[in-house]
Amino acid sequence: MEKRKISENVIRRLPKYYRFLSELSEKKIDRISSVEISEALRLTASQVRQDLFNFGCFGQRGCGYDVEFLKKAIAEILGLNIPHSVIIVGAGRIGQALADYGGFLKEGYTVKAVFDIETEHIKNIKAQIYNVAELENYLAANNTDIAVIATQKDAAEEVAKRLVEAGIKSIWNFAPIDLYFGEDVAVENINMSESLFSLTYKSKKVNAF
């Protein structure tokens, strides 16, 4: 496959393509046209064609795209084709929901360990359960690709620092605080309150008509 420099915007759309292709794959659909993709994802067909052209010549004019081939190619670009070991720090309801989240295992993400300041309340979880005091020991002994932060807001920053100092390069943050560690650590912040505020603003507009 030809290597190109892929823009941030294209990258941001790739998970959407991947999820849609996975749905098609589950439904045993073999081929899909750029028009069909664009309608499902509410993009323009030419944008879809341009985006996918970035990854080489997937589509033949008039034939559409081979779903499995395209899904596999995007998975490789995103890094989904290799298994990922995950730990979760903070076992409140969000942390436990994530530990339990079926989608992880399916896509090659395995929650190996869950950490909290108290561990007695954690139930029905397949991962190993540790006191957060064990965090550094665990990370020194176990290769870990992604750390999820699902602590209270007040604890999140310190936990994040400990993770980064222990060598973690990838943080998925659910605490209501933006974490940032420069270029050397990948961070995705799930800002639920910001999403709720955006929704509130949008609904204000909807109700105004």
Please, what is the minimum distance in Å from the beta carbon of residue 69 to a second copy? 18
- Binders of a second copy among residues 16 to 55 (CB under 8 A) are 16, 18-19, 41-42
First to last CA, the chain: 50
> Which residues lie below 8 Å from residue 197, measured CB to CB, with a gap of 6+?
none
Please, what is the minimum distance in Å from the beta carbon of residue 63 to a second copy? 26
From candidates 1, 50, 56, 79, binder to a second copy by CB under 8 A: 79
From candidates 25, 145, 157, 166, binder to a second copy by CB under 8 A: 145
Please, what is the minimum distance in Å from the beta carbon of residue 112 to a second copy? 16
Residue 60 is given by DSSP the state: B
- Binders of a second copy among residues 109 to 128 (CB under 8 A) are 109
From candidates 61, 121, 123, 205, binder to a second copy by CB under 8 A: 205
Beta strand segments in the chain, E: 31-32, 65-66, 84-89, 109-116, 128-131, 146-149, 170-173, 186-189
Please, what is the minimum distance in Å from the beta carbon of residue 54 to a second copy? 14
- Binders of a second copy among residues 82 to 111 (CB under 8 A) are 84, 92-94, 96-97, 100-101, 103-104, 107, 109
The size of the chain, in residues, is: 209
Give whole-number Cα distances, 112 to 1, 19, 196, in Å: 34, 24, 31
| Binding residues for a second copy, total number by CB under 8 A | 59
Please, what is the minimum distance in Å from the beta carbon of residue 164 to a second copy? 11
Q: Specify which residues 60 forms β-bridges with.
A: 64
Q: Does 78 interact with a second copy (rule: CB under 8 A)?
A: yes
Tell me how far apart the alpha carbons of residues 99 and 105 are, in angstroms, rounded to a whole number: 10
Note whether 20 and 51 are within 8 A (CB). no
Residue 17 token pair = 């393509």
Of 31, 33, 77, residue with least CA distance to 54? 77
Q: Does 1 interact with a second copy (rule: CB under 8 A)?
A: no
Q: Does 80 interact with a second copy (rule: CB under 8 A)?
A: yes
Tell me how far apart the alpha carbons of residues 152 and 150 are, in angstroms, rounded to a whole number: 7
Positions touching a second copy (CB under 8 A) are 11-12, 14-16, 18-19, 41-42, 77-80, 84, 92-94, 96-97, 100-101, 103-104, 107, 109, 145-146, 169-172, 176, 178, 180, 183-188, 190-207, 209
